[in-house]
Structure formats: C-alpha cells, structure tokens
C-alpha cells in the first residue's frame, strides 16, 4: 500500500477518481476544482480534490448541473474547515430542489406501477389518459394541460 503523496498529478487523480483527465481540466476551467502548478507548469492536486470530485459526480448523477455544483462548492471554503453555517447554506439551497426531484420521481414510478396493477386498460383511468394532473401538481398557475381533458376520456 503505497503512501499517497499530498500532491497528486493529474494522471493519478484521473486514475483514482475515475474521472478522465480531459474532464479534470474542464472542471478546473469551470472553477469546480483547483490545482497549483510545479515550476514546470504541471498541475498538482491536494488529496481533497478526490472528495470534491466524488461530490461533483454524485450531484451530476442525480441531475444537477455543473453550475449548480459550482455555486454550492463556492459557498464552501477551500482552505479551512467548513463551518456549520457553510453547511447550512449549501444544504438549504439544495434541500428543496432535491425533495422536488424525489417527489417527481416517486410520482412517475408509482404511476407506472399502479398502472400495471390496476387493470385500467379500459382507457378510463390509465395513466397516459389521466397524466395531466402531473402537471397541475406544479401549482394552480400552470393548468395548461387541464384543458386537454375537456373532450373527455
């Protein structure tokens, strides 16, 4: 088990994180990660970049944009331990968004599931025929698709 140096090369980071080196430079351009340079202009990363990368990739997997991630990471200090206030800021700004996404996913999944079980093939209660309320759940301000049901089932 070789001891990891504090300064990782881009190749080491790529290998250990599973993130291609091209993407690492791309993230650096976008300000998501940072490196310092050797006298010969090569990038060197602190080990903590691996944590950042894990965070970035996880956030991406759940559908957040790099800009979202950037905004969140920007609220966290780079050089010091995050304070409770730092976390609170990051968490609260995402909580609502994450909850909404979880909700939307549940609704979509449950609809598919219940449709299988409901014997609704009569077209009367089948989800594709009553799908519109997925929209109206967005609030009273967006009932556009409600109109589509006027003609009846």
Partner DNA sequence: ATCCAACCTCGACCAAGGTGGAGGTCAAGA
Partner DNA sequence: TCTTGACCTCCACCTTGGTCGAGGTTGGAT
16 binds DNA (CB under 7 A): no
- Residue 8 to residues 14, 36, 102, Cα–Cα distance (Å): 10, 10, 36
114 binds DNA (CB under 7 A): no
CB of 40 to a second copy, least distance (A): 25
Sign of CA dihedral 129, 135, 136, 141: negative
- For 20, the token pair is 């291609």
d(CA 22, CA 48): 19
22 binds DNA (CB under 7 A): yes
- Encoded one letter per residue, x for contact with DNA by CB under 7 A and - for no contact, window 43-82 reads x----------------x----xxx---------------
Using CB under 7 A, list all residues that contact DNA: 9-12, 14, 20-23, 25-26, 35, 38-43, 60, 65-67
């Amino acid at each position: 088990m070789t001891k990891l140096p504090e300064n990782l090369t881009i190749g080491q980071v790529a290998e250990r994180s599973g993130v291609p080196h091209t993407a690492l430079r791309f993230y650096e351009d976008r300000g998501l990660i940072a490196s310092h340079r050797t006298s010969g202009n090569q990038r060197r990363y602190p080990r903590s970049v691996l944590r950042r990368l894990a965070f970035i990739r996880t956030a991406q997997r759940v559908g957040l944009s790099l800009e979202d991630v950037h905004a969140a990471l920007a609220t966290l200090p780079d050089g010091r331990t995050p304070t409770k206030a730092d976390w609170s800021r990051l968490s609260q700004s995402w909580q609502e968004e994450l909850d909404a996404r979880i909700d939307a996913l549940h609704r979509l999944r449950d609809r598919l599931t219940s449709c299988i079980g409901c014997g609704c093939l009569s077209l009367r209660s089948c989800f594709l025929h009553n799908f519109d309320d997925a929209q109206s759940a967005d609030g009273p301000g967006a009932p556009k698709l409600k109109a589509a049901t006027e003609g009846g089932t």
